[in-house]
């Protein structure tokens, strides 16, 4: 069943159109990635889905429910979690307090959910009383993901979760992303590292100049001349 459908989204920063008619479909329990060169509008696209930016066009559906234009806090409450690339934890709050903020709108079951989430991220379980600002970059990204899971979301959007991490740690992060999908949550990842995206996601979207350029199962996208696409040497759009 379709968990997320972002249909022909348009986003602008002032007079500049950054995303034009971009579309993503995400099945329940699936792991998809968006790749593309710098300035392709990948991050802006997920910000619009999450309600951080207002769309200038297009529609967003979570299952059958339309989310278009809702404020970010209402979108989060409906089951769509978003993890930004930068500043994705509350640095002065402890690890547990960060998780509490992730579950802010939970009416009940906050403590059991924190335990469940810490089971998925055992590294964090050893640092529950540490301030998030004192964690390493990789641990902060883990905490950001853990926080996003606190409301049992149907979909999680991750904006470049491996940005700035050492090569040794990037696969650790992706392993955690795989574990998240096994809990029943669909994940859409914006990833700058194409090889990592192709190796881990089951379906990949290629964005160029703010719109879909190609998409398909990872193996099919891997067969494309992505270097040429990224460098602007590609001709016709490939789907």
Partner 1 sequence: MVPLPSPCVNPYGLAIGFGLVTASILAIASVGLTLQFGVTNYVNFAYGDFMTLGAYLAFEINAGGHLSIWLAMVLSALCMGVVGVAADRFLLSPFTRRFPNLFYVLIVTFGLSLILLNLIGAIWTPNFQQLPVATENPLHLGPFLLTPSQVAIFGTGVALMFGAHLLLTRTKLGKAMRAMSDNTSLATVCGIDTRLVTSVTWFITGALSGIAGSVLAIDLGTITPAVGETFLFVIFASVILGGIGKPYGAMLGALVIGLTTELSAVVINPAYKLDVAFGLLVVVLLLRPQGIVASAGKA
Positions in the binding site for partner 1 (CB under 8 A): 50-52, 71-73, 75-77, 81-82, 84, 87-93, 97, 100-102, 104-105, 131-134, 147, 151
User: Which residue lies nearer to partner 1 by CB, 62 or 132?
Assistant: 132
Q: Write b or e for each residue in 26-39: b if 16 or more Cβ atoms lie within 10 A of its Cβ, otherwise e.
A: beeebbbbbbbbee
3-state class of 22 per DSSP?
A: strand
- Nearer to partner 1 by C-beta: 121 or 230? 121
Within 13 Å of residue 39, how many CA atoms lie on the same side as its CB?
6
Count Cα atoms within 13 angstroms, Cβ side, for 150: 28
Round to whole Å and give the CA distance between 50 and 48: 5
Query: Measured from the CB atom, is 151 or 188 closer to partner 1?
Result: 151
Tell the smallest beta-carbon distance from residue 157 to partner 1 (Å): 9
Nearer Cβ to partner 1 (25/77): 77
Which C-beta is closer to partner 1: that of 72 or that of 224? 72
Min CB(42)–partner 1 separation in Å: 17
How near is the Cβ of 48 to partner 1 at its closest, in Å?
A: 13
Smallest separation, CB 184 to partner 1 (Å)? 19
CA angle 120, 4, 82 (to 5 degrees): 50
- CA 184 from centroid of its chain's CA atoms: 15
- Collapse the DSSP code of 3 into the 3-class scheme (helix H, G, I; strand E, B; otherwise coil) and give the result: strand
Least Å distance, CB 92 to partner 1, is 3
Q: Give the shortest CB-134-to-partner 1 separation in angstroms.
A: 7
Is the distance from CB of 126 to CB of 136 less than 8 angstroms? no
Dihedral, CA of residue 51, residue 53, residue 59 and residue 63, to nearest 10: -20
Q: Could you tell me which of 51, 40, 50, 54 has the C-alpha nearest to residue 12? A: 54
């Amino acid at each position: 069943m379709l968990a997320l459908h972002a249909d022909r989204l348009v986003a602008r920063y002032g007079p500049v159109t950054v995303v034009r008619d971009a579309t993503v479909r995400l099945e329940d329990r699936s792991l998809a990635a968006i790749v593309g060169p710098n300035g392709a509008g990948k991050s802006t696209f997920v910000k619009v889905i999450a309600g951080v930016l207002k769309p200038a066009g297009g529609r967003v559906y979570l299952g059958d429910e339309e989310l278009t234009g809702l404020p970010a806090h209402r979108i989060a409450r409906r089951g769509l979690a978003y993890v930004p690339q930068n500043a994705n934890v509350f640095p002065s709050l402890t690890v547990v307090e960060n998780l509490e903020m992730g579950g802010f709108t939970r009416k009940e079951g906050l403590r059991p959910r924190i335990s469940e989430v810490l089971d998925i991220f055992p590294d964090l379980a050893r640092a529950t009383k540490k301030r998030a600002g004192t964690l390493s970059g990789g641990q902060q990204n883990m905490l950001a993901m853990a926080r996003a899971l606190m409301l049992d979301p149907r979909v999680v959007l991750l904006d470049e979760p491996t940005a700035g991490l050492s090569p040794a740690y990037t696969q650790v992060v992706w392993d955690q992303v795989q574990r998240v999908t096994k809990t029943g949550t669909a994940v859409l990842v914006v990833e700058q590292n194409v090889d990592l995206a192709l190796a881990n996601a089951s379906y990949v979207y290629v964005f160029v100049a703010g719109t879909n350029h190609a998409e398909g199962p990872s193996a099919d996208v891997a067969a494309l001349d992505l270097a040429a696409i990224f460098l602007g040497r590609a001709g016709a759009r490939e789907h």
